[in-house]
Structure 1
Amino acid sequence: MQNLHDFVVHQPDVSVLFPVQHSTAVERGARSSLTDVAIKNAKPREKSYRLYDTGGLYLELFPNGSKLWRWKYRFEGREKRLALGKYPEVGLKDARESRDDARKLLRTGVDPSAIKQRLGAAEQVEATSTFEAVANDWFERMMRDKAESHRVKVKARLEKDLLPWLGNKPVADITPRDILACLRRIEDRGAHDTAHRALQNCSAVLRHAVVEGKAKENPAVHLKGALPPARAGHFAAITEPKEVGPLLRTMEAVSATFPVKCALRLLPYLFCRPGELRTMRWSDVHLEEAEWRFVASKNGPSHIVPLPRQAVAILRELRPLTGRGEFVFPGRDDRTQPMSNATLNRALQRAGISTRDEQTGHGFRAMARTILHEGLGFSPYVIEHQLAHRVPDVLGGAYNRTRFLEDRKKMMQQWADYLDRLRDGVEPNVAAEPRLRIGPREGR
């Protein structure tokens, strides 16, 4: 950013043509020059007063203790004053240098006050042209109609992955290398999908800068192909048993409403899709039969989730609070609607769990699939049917809601008991866990 001194050094010295005209004895140096000691010892009075230096420079002291530098000069026959800053931020030496710079401008026939106004206006333009300023404007204009869950994710990427390093840079000065450095930091923590999304958001902000006339080009376009392909459909998930216990204990301690805490407790037990859980209806819950029957949101078939004892207990405890409504987990502001699709991931984030790199609500499905099969030895056919996945077999059947139902009931209870032991810090005896090794021809 330019200042008065930067402007002055580019001006020709024509002091011979424009000599300084002083109108008072003070400006002619009749008074002695100021000292640092005199300034420090000067105390505020009931009314403002001035301490004069030489060449029209003076320090004005106010009753509230403020001390402001001024320079008095004449331009085109009119007496004017130029503010030079606040003491002690601007010391005596700096004030004199600013006065001398202003006098050089005056000798060229330029009004120093006009130059300062121009520099101030340029500074304001520059302040609105930083990446952070443009990003905020883009977010308010272009994201206002997006789903709240999407807005939250985009805002988080901007604030955590881009603004700390690009925020103060003018958008016109940002280079592809600046952007790539941000993306490499994201990649270094293993969040490859986040790196791709951050690049998309950064590019959108810089396109907005071009449209608004604050940049000539979008440097993000030069990074096409700079990142390795991200894994499609990846949801962060913990799949190591030793890490599950600490995760569950952290989730237990989260600060949230009782319905949200209940939803967080159910999600690992049932490993359903978060969208299915948040839209759970009391009419679909059959506590006496320990079953939850509903239409799976993704594939459409009717689905049965056997409820382990722990899940039944949670739902019985919650029913007095939300049982009069349609939804087991109603919205906070509108109880006729289900809770927001961002609620569970936000609760995980409040607990200090990264939903980008550690665990998402959807990631409990990957956790269960991996540990049930690889760790506990359950049949993939039973697991996939519990996940409501279409898994064609040699008989041609894609999905049947009652298939392996008895085995799934046993598996769900064993899974809930296994999670409880991990949560409580009890080492599970994996060798003693019964296996359900069911092949493709053994459907029930």
Structure 2
Amino acid sequence: MALTDIAIRKAKAGDKPIKLYDERGLFLLLAPTGGKLWRLKYRFDGKEKLLSLGAYPDVTLAKARDRRDKARELLADGIDPSEHRKVTKAMRAELGENTFEVIGRQWYAKTAPTLAESTKETLLRRLEMDVFPLMGDKPISELAAPDLLAVIRRIEGRGAMDIARRVHNVCGRIFRYAVGHGLTSRDPSRDIELRDILPPENVHHHASVTDPKAVGGLLRAIEEFTGAFTTRCALRLAPLLFVRPGELRHAEWVEIDYEKSEWRIPAGKMKMKEQHIVPLSAQATAILKEIQPVTGHGRYVFPSERGGGRPMSDNTINAALRRMGYTKEEMTGHGFRSMASTLLHELGLPHAVIERQLAHGERNKVSAAYNFAEYLPERRKMMQQWADYLDGLKSGAKIISISEAKSG
């Protein structure tokens, strides 16, 4: 059945991408983030391919069908619409038609190979949904701060402050790419101070080591720690699991499932009062099995050195870090979370997956109770990749993208 404007307007996004089919290969992709993207599925030389036709509502149903028909006319003439688009854009660029979209796609083509597959899709979707419709057809050399500000304000209008900040950053990279290639004289994003435009993030940042080389030094210092064995094991697990310090020291053996390679933290122990799953990498499992003969007879994985059936003191990790030579301005027990968040984002892992593993607050309180297993397959893969990446930093190996690291 063909799509209608009413059906499109009423369509709601879900946890996974949803496809609403029209006719003759045209469909609307509903992204979990709320974006509505037109796609055309077609076959060329026996291979199934997809062509992006823009984002709704900037590209209406009628316009999407018109673009579909033009693409099918090319197919009837034996021309691949995707290749035709690439050639056309390249020719326009050579002829001096250096629009923001043309340059943006050039930058994306050079940047995409360094990113994880899911990150590539998210980045392109943001450009197509939020940026290109407003300033994609304008010469990049003629764009100024008000043009970019209009993009940011539009995103702010739907309450997506984090995406607004990320889009500002991406546009800045595209402008600087253009500056480097002599296509424009300056980067307008530098004229926009986001703290004067968007509401403050209101996030308290804990002292943390985030430079990869410094992280490698910290991991080596932990391996050489000569204090209590249980404290050393907790220190080794902290960067691998990046849970809150209170959650780590209250870990109980009954919560550990070696068969499923996971640690399930009950809702009562979590800040957001939601059950939380921590996938265990091979490295994390090895550390737990190493300490189990020592503390496995009791309740807590990390019991207090003073006994009494209590967990490790809340100051134990910080005290160990001070003993290792790290001041409170350099690193804290909570800082392992900032370390993981910063590096995982820099290394191209999906923002939603990272945030879910950090167990940050769920805005939709109705669905929050069911989201403890959200993105679990992706989180399992990420946690093993993260552990392997940390091993590389600890050994002083060449720092590579996490998407290139072996998952073990």
TM-score of the two chains, using structure 2 as the length reference: 0.47
Structure number with higher helix proportion? 2
Q: TM-score, normalised by structure 1?
A: 0.44
